[in-house]
Structure 1
Amino acid sequence: MKNSLCTVLMAAVVIPLLSTSILFGSAYANVQLKASPAASILDQRARIEPENRMLNDRILTLLPELMAQKNIDLWLVLAREYAEDPVFFSLVPQPVFAARRTTMLAFHLQEDGTVDALSVNTYPFGEPYESVWTGGDLDEQWRALGDLIAELNPKRIGINTSRHWPVADGLTQGLYQRLLEVMPEGFEDRVVSAEELVVRWIETRSEGERAVYPHVVQLARSVIAQGFSSKVITPGVTSTDDVAWFLRQRFHELDLPVWFMPYVNLQREGLECAKDNPFCGTSGVIQPGDVLHTDVGICYLKLCTDTQEMAYVLKPGESDVPQGLKDAMAVGNQWQDFVTSSFETGLSGNQILAATQRKATSAGIDSSTYTHPIGFFGHAPGPTIGMWDNQGETPVRGDWPLYPNTAYAIEGNIRYELQEWDNQGVRIKLEQGAMFDGNRVIYLAGRQTQWHLIGPKTAP
Structure 2
Amino acid sequence: MKNTLLLTTLLLFTYSCNNIQEKNTVTTTVNPVDIWGENPWPDIRKKRINTLLPEALKAAAVDCWLVVCRENNNDPMAEHIGGENAGGTAVFMFYNDSDGFHSLVFSPSGESTALDELDIHDKVISVERGTSAIDTAIAFIKTKDFKNIAVNISEENALADGLSHTQYQELETKLGELSNLLVPSTEVVYEWLSIKLPEEVEIMRKAAQITADWQIEAYTQVIPGQTTDADVAKFLKEKMKIYGVTDGWSPDQNPNVNSGPDRGHSHATNKVIMPGDVIQIDFGIKVHNRWVTDIQRFAYVLKPGETVAPEDITHYWNSSKAGNRAALAAMKPGVKGVDVDRAQRVLMEQAGSEYVMWSTGHPVGYVAHDIGPNLGGSQASHIRPASNKILKEGMTFAFDGFHAWKLDDGQIKTISVEEMAVVTDEGAEYLISPQEDLILISSKK
Q: Deviations over 1:354-377 (max 9, x none)?
A: 343234434555563511111112
| Displacement after TM superposition at 1:35 (Å) | 3.4
8 Å CA contact retained: 2:406, 2:412: yes
In the TM superposition, 1:119-134 aligns within 5 A as: 119-121=106-108, 122-123=110-111, 124-125=114-115, 126-134=118-126
Q: Could you say what secondary structure the match of 1:234 adopts?
A: coil
In the TM superposition, 1:359-378 aligns within 5 A as: 359-362=347-350, 364-366=352-354, 368=356, 369-370=358-359, 371-378=361-368
What is the rounded CA distance, in whole Å, between the counterparts of 1:202 and 1:285 in structure 2? 41
| Displacement after TM superposition at 1:443 (Å) | 0.9
Give the counterpart of 2:294 among 299, 306, 331: 306
Q: Could you say what secondary structure the match of 2:374 adopts?
A: coil
In the alignment, which residue of structure 2 is the partner of 1:348?
A: 336
Amino acid at match of 1:35: T
In the alignment, which residue of structure 1 is the partner of 2:41?
A: 51
Q: Could you say what secondary structure the match of 1:83 adopts?
A: coil
8 Å CA contact retained: 2:341, 2:377: no
In the alignment, which residue of structure 1 is the partner of 2:27?
A: none
In the alignment, which residue of structure 1 is the partner of 2:182?
A: 191
In the alignment, which residue of structure 2 is the partner of 1:10?
A: none
Q: Assess, with a 3 A threshold, how the Cα gap between structure 1 residues 103 and 304 changes in structure 2: closer, same or farther.
A: farther
Moved more, 442-451 or 379-388: 379-388
8 Å CA contact retained: 1:220, 1:305: yes
What is the rounded CA distance, in whole Å, between the counterparts of 2:242 and 2:206 in structure 1? 18
| Displacement after TM superposition at 1:379 (Å) | 0.5
What is the rounded CA distance, in whole Å, between the counterparts of 2:201 and 2:324 in structure 1? 21
Find out whether 1:451 has 2:431 as its counterpart.
no
Q: Deviations over 1:89-120 (max 9, x none)?
A: 22228xx5x54343422112232433335353
Find out whether 1:436 has 2:423 as its counterpart.
yes
Q: Could you say what secondary structure the match of 1:35 adopts?
A: helix
Q: Deviations over 1:272-318 (max 9, x none)?
A: x59xx878997511223322111112222422211122112344555
| Displacement after TM superposition at 1:444 (Å) | 0.6
In the alignment, which residue of structure 2 is the partner of 1:180?
A: 172
What is the rounded CA distance, in whole Å, between the counterparts of 1:424 and 1:135 in structure 2? 63
Moved more, 319-328 or 188-197: 319-328
Q: Assess, with a 3 A threshold, how the Cα gap between structure 1 residues 415 and 35 changes in structure 2: closer, same or farther.
A: farther
In the alignment, which residue of structure 2 is the partner of 1:295?
A: 282
Q: Could you say what secondary structure the match of 2:246 adopts?
A: coil
Q: Deviations over 1:438-458 (max 9, x none)?
A: 432211112111223334787
Give the counterpart of 1:336 among 303, 320, 324: 324
What is the rounded CA distance, in whole Å, between the counterparts of 1:422 and 1:45 in structure 2? 46
What is the rounded CA distance, in whole Å, between the counterparts of 1:449 and 1:266 in structure 2? 20
In the alignment, which residue of structure 1 is the partner of 2:26?
A: none
What is the rounded CA distance, in whole Å, between the counterparts of 2:105 and 2:150 in structure 1? 15
What is the rounded CA distance, in whole Å, between the counterparts of 2:365 and 2:286 in structure 1? 9
Q: Which structure 1 residue ranges, 4+ long, deviate > 6 Å from structure 2?
A: 37-40, 277-282, 421-425
Q: Assess, with a 3 A threshold, how the Cα gap between structure 1 residues 345 and 367 changes in structure 2: closer, same or farther.
A: farther
Q: Could you say what secondary structure the match of 2:125 adopts?
A: coil
In the TM superposition, 1:14-413 aligns within 5 A as: 23-24=2-3, 33-36=7-10, 41-42=32-33, 46-48=37-39, 50-92=40-82, 96=84, 99-121=86-108, 122-123=110-111, 124-125=114-115, 126-137=118-129, 139-183=131-175, 185-230=176-221, 233-258=222-247, 259-260=249-250, 261-267=254-260, 284-301=271-288, 302-316=290-304, 318-362=306-350, 364-366=352-354, 368=356, 369-370=358-359, 371-386=361-376, 391-413=380-402
What is the rounded CA distance, in whole Å, between the counterparts of 1:447 and 1:65 in structure 2? 33
8 Å CA contact retained: 2:393, 2:424: yes
RMSD of Structure 2 on Structure 1 (CA) = 3.4
| Displacement after TM superposition at 1:422 (Å) | 12
What is the rounded CA distance, in whole Å, between the counterparts of 1:312 and 1:138 in structure 2? 67
8 Å CA contact retained: 2:31, 2:244: no
Amino acid at match of 1:410: F
TM-score by length of 1: 0.79
What is the rounded CA distance, in whole Å, between the counterparts of 1:455 and 1:317 in structure 2? 10
> What is the total number of aligned residue pairs between the two structures?
415
What is the rounded CA distance, in whole Å, between the counterparts of 2:395 and 2:152 in structure 1? 21
8 Å CA contact retained: 1:87, 1:167: yes
Identity of aligned residues (%): 25
What is the rounded CA distance, in whole Å, between the counterparts of 1:82 and 1:279 in structure 2? 30
Amino acid at match of 1:265: N
Q: Could you say what secondary structure the match of 2:10 adopts?
A: coil
8 Å CA contact retained: 2:245, 2:287: yes
Q: Could you say what secondary structure the match of 2:213 adopts?
A: helix
Q: Assess, with a 3 A threshold, how the Cα gap between structure 1 residues 457 and 109 changes in structure 2: closer, same or farther.
A: farther
Q: Flag structure 1 segments of 5+ consecutive residues without an equivalent.
A: 1-21, 268-272
Q: Could you say what secondary structure the match of 1:221 adopts?
A: helix
Q: Flag structure 2 segments of 5+ consecutive residues without an equivalent.
A: 13-29
8 Å CA contact retained: 2:60, 2:191: no
What is the rounded CA distance, in whole Å, between the counterparts of 2:215 and 2:354 in structure 1? 26
8 Å CA contact retained: 1:72, 1:158: yes
In the alignment, which residue of structure 2 is the partner of 1:4?
A: none
Q: Could you say what secondary structure the match of 1:397 adopts?
A: helix
Q: Assess, with a 3 A threshold, how the Cα gap between structure 1 residues 402 and 367 changes in structure 2: closer, same or farther.
A: farther
What is the rounded CA distance, in whole Å, between the counterparts of 1:52 and 1:403 in structure 2? 25
| Displacement after TM superposition at 1:264 (Å) | 0.8
